[in-house]
Structure 1
């Protein structure tokens, strides 16, 4: 069917072919009708010429009869056409039949063309609706992406704000701890030096022991902290330096403690061996005496 053609070019070619077939049929019918209508009638038989009256025998002349016979024979040899007989009853109107057929073909052709254009119109409407749906979906996707990006920005800003708050709180906490440590160290240094001075004054001229010498040396090494003139950055550096120094001292202390434990273990082990050996040696001496 013509409405199944998807290309306008194919539709035009089909319409042209149908129109040419219709025109050829119409031309053939017209030629047949003209042949039927203009068919040559059968030539009328020539009437016999009246024979000439006999003339007086006085003047004998050749009779013209042989010429008439020759003319009749020539006319008899010519082909005779017969008019076709029209059937009895109603006369056939070829023009009416031709017009009806043409009208029928034109109606069918117009119906096919209308159906094709209707189908094409529906396809165009569907295409327009599809384009509208695509544009709508694209707009919705763009809106969703915009909302998502805004939410991401808000979350990033909130995370950054929370990070800054945490850093500020940590810095404040660290500053408070540093201030406490600074005050504790300063009070400890002054108290320790005053305590040593009091102990020395009490002892008077007593002989210093090793422990007292050690404390005196440590007191000389441990100087009082003079941090009143330092700003915040320098205080942080000083606190960091003291912290590292304390870590070093703790590590050295741990090493010394471990070494002391190992030495104690070795001493006890050696003492036990010595005691065992001494027992065996005493037994040997008693046996020899016996």
Structure 2
């Protein structure tokens, strides 16, 4: 009887061990599947991020190529205008001599300064071509414009500070000169 009880006890313990073993094995398999799922999900996320990055890079390259082409076109147009202006000036010199240009130069100094300013402003101020842009690209363009304004304001501030400093230094030097002349 004791022998049978001991065998039953051993059998129960063995069954408990077997069940515990299968339970832990089942948990390990579930964890392994979960880990595989997470790895696959991360791999998919990384692939998606890489795809988005490469897409953005392609868009950036396309924008840069478009910008280069536009700048080259603009430069070609400016060269053509400059060439036409030179030809016109040369033909004017041939037809009218130097007299007409001398009279134009006397009164035209302010005009040329104004033209220089207009030229500089037209070079700085690029036309906004935003009709074809998507919402994300519009946000990017807005950020780019904001950054441009920020940079210009910073440059303006730096120049104003430099001007104030130079003005102060000039006043100090003038005072020193006047002090030396008194002595």
TM-score of the superposed pair, with normalisation by structure 2: 0.53
Structure 1, gaps ≥5 residues long: 1-92, 190-221, 224-241, 254-290
Look up the match of 2:70. Answer: 162
Q: How many residues align?
A: 111
Structure 2, gaps ≥5 residues long: 111-183
CA distance in 2, matches of 1:179, 1:251: 20
Look up the match of 1:140. Answer: 48
Q: What is the alpha-carbon root mean square deviation over aligned residues?
A: 2.8
Indicate how the Cα distance of structure 1 residues 252 and 98 shifts in structure 2: closer, same or farther if over 3 A, else same.
Answer: closer
Q: Larger Rg: 1 or 2?
A: 1
Alignment partner of 1:177 out of 56, 78, 85: 85
**1:61-88 deviations in whole A, cap 9, x for unaligned?**
xxxxxxxxxxxxxxxxxxxxxxxxxxxx
Is 1:100 matched up with 2:21? Answer: no
Indicate how the Cα distance of structure 1 residues 252 and 177 shifts in structure 2: closer, same or farther if over 3 A, else same.
Answer: closer
Moved over 3 A (4+): none
TM-score of the superposed pair, with normalisation by structure 1: 0.35
Deviation at 1:102, TM superposition (A): 1.1
**1:67-118 deviations in whole A, cap 9, x for unaligned?**
xxxxxxxxxxxxxxxxxxxxxxxxxx22111111111111112111211111
CA distance in 2, matches of 1:138, 1:153: 22
Is 1:186 matched up with 2:94? Answer: yes
1:1-290 correspondence to structure 2 within 5 Å: 93-189=1-97, 222=98, 247=105, 249-250=106-107
Higher relative contact order (CA 8 A, sep 6+): 1
CA distance in 2, matches of 1:143, 1:137: 10
